[in-house]
Structures are given as structure tokens and as C-alpha cells.
Amino acid sequence: MRAYGALSPTELIETPPDSVITFVMTGGSSAQAADWPNSTGGAAANAGLAGANLVHITAMSTAGAFLAVTFNFYSTAANTPASGTSVTTGTTAGSTGNSIPIFGSRYLQVPPPSTGFSVASMTSGYVMVEMWHK
């Protein structure tokens, strides 16, 4: 995994990512999932082994406008918003995690035990996940 390239990740002066995953969302509460890629493009056992420490998630409509999506670091359980309370069951592999709201784009730190991630959207568009290590 390519290093982020900034003296501090908060400076937001990064090098181009060497791993990018793009999802084409079809809408209607669609959800998709992926594993963290290893250096050869296969699946790593978890984010720590993949070297994925930081992600930049960009969600856009097919017309290029901001898109609201949810992102889950711990499972394929990303879901569209609903009334209620969501409490994570832990921070280890196999836990369900919470679906995090993303509107347009957001930088996040990746929990090392994450074995994969998922994204969900109520409308059609694209979600791109760029990855770096610190």
C-alpha cells in the first residue's frame, strides 16, 4: 500500500493512491462489499495486513452531484438510513460495525482488524474508495 505522503494526515496533501475500488450503485437500497486488496490485487486477510490505514470515500450521482451513502468498515451489512439506534457489537473481525453516513466525500482512518467493507445507497451513482497507509 502506498504511503499517504503528508507529514500529517490532516494536511491533506497526499500522493496518488495505488489502490482504488469503484462501485456502480444501482439504487433501491443497493449494497456492495469488497475485501481490502493486497499488493497483488488479491484479498488481504484484514486492513492491517493490506496496509490500508486511510481511505477517502467519494460518492457522486451519475450526473456528478454529491450522493448520500453509508459505509461500514466491519461487514457487508451497510444499509440505508432508517429510524432507530445502531450500536456496534465490537471492534474485532466478525463484528457488525455501524453504517457511517457519507455525503459527497469523507476521509476516514481504517480499523486494522477490518476484514472488508461495504457501501449502500438509496439512489444510483458511483462510490470510489481510495486507499493509503500512514
Spatial separation of the C-alpha atoms in residues 51 and 39, rounded to whole Å: 9
Q: State residue 28's pLDDT score.
A: 75
pTM of the model: 0.82
Kindly report, residue by residue over 71-130, the tens digit of the pLDDT: 998 877 777 766 656 666 555 555 567 788 999 999 999 988 888 999 999 899 999 999
Kindly report, residue by residue over 35-78, the tens digit of the pLDDT: 999 878 789 888 888 988 899 999 999 998 999 999 998 877 77
The pLDDT-based confidence of 6 (bands split at 50, 70, 90) is: low
Kindly report, residue by residue over 8-36, the tens digit of the pLDDT: 766 666 788 889 999 999 877 678 999 99
- Taking residue 94's Cβ as centre, other Cβ atoms within 10 Å add up to 10
Per-domain residue ranges of the chain: 9-80+97-132
What is the CATH class of 9-80+97-132?
A: mainly beta
Whose cell is 429510524? That residue is: 83
Q: State residue 20's pLDDT score.
A: 93
DSSP character at residue 110: P
Phi-psi region of 74 (alpha: psi -120 to 50; beta: other; left: phi over 0): alpha
